[in-house]
Amino acid sequence: MRSICFYFQVHQPYRLRNYRFFEIGNNHNYFDDYQNRYIMQRVAEKCYIPMNKLLLDLINEFGQSFKVSFSISGVALEQFSKYTPQVIESFKALSDTGCVEFIAETYGHSLAALRSDEEFALQVNRQQQLLSELIGYKSSSFRNTELIYSDEIGQMVYDMGFDTMLTEGAKHILGWKSPNYMYCNAANPKLKLLLKNFQLSDDIAFRFSQRSWEGWPLTAEKFVDWLNQIDQREEVVNLFMDYETFGEHQWAETGIFEFMRALPRMVFANSPFTFNTPSELTRLLQPVAAVHVPEPISWADEERDLTAWLGNDLQDDAFDTLYSLRETMNNVLEYSKTVNEMLISTSGNNGHVQDELRVLHNDWLKLQTSDHFYYMCTKWFADGDVHKYFNPYGTPYDAYINYMNVLSDFMLRLSQHSFLQTSIERNVALNNKINTDMKIIKKAEKMNGSEKRQDAAAIAKKSAKKAVISLNKTKELAEERKKPGRPKAAVKVVAEKKKQGRPKAAVKVVAEKKKQGRPKAAVKVVAEKKKQGRPKLTATKKKVVVRIPFVVPAGVELAELVAKVSVNDLRSLWAALNSQEQEAVLALLTRRRKQIVVESAPVKLSDNEKSAIRTEYSALLKVLWL
Crossing angle for the helix pair 579-597 and 396-415, to the nearest 10 degrees: 130
Query: DSSP 3-state assignment of 509?
Result: helix
> In angstroms, rounded to a whole number, what is the distance separating the alpha carbons of residues 224 and 260?
12
**Would residue 146 show up in a list of annotated catalytic residues for this protein?**
yes
Question: β-strand 273-275 against 2-10: which pairing, if any?
Answer: parallel
Crossing angle for the helix pair 607-624 and 567-576, to the nearest 10 degrees: 80
Give the torsion through C-alpha atoms of 167, 172, 175, 177, to 10 deg: 10
Please enumerate in sequence order all residues whose Cβ is within 8 A of that of 379, keeping only pairs 6 or more positions apart, or say none.
Answer: 301, 307, 308, 311, 387
Residues linked to residue 141 through DSSP beta bridges, in sequence order: 164
Query: DSSP 3-state assignment of 539?
Result: coil
> In angstroms, rounded to a whole number, what is the distance separating the alpha carbons of residues 53 and 41?
16
Catalytic residue among 101, 105, 119, 146: 146
DSSP one-letter code for 104:
B
How many degrees, rounded to 5, is the angle at CA 536 between CA 535 and CA 539? 135
Q: Which of 125, 69, 128, 129 is nearest to 97 (CA)?
A: 69
Please enumerate in sequence order all residues whose Cβ is within 8 A of that of 64, keeping only pairs 6 or more positions apart, or say none.
Answer: 98, 99
Helices (H) and strands (E) in the chain — how many of each? 26, 10
DSSP one-letter code for 545:
P
Question: β-strand 236-242 against 192-196: which pairing, if any?
Answer: unpaired
Question: β-strand 2-10 against 192-196: which pairing, if any?
Answer: unpaired
The string of DSSP codes covering 262-307 is HHHHHHHHH-SEEE--HHHHHHH---SSEE--SS-B-SSTTTTSST
Residues linked to residue 22 through DSSP beta bridges, in sequence order: none
Active site residues: 146
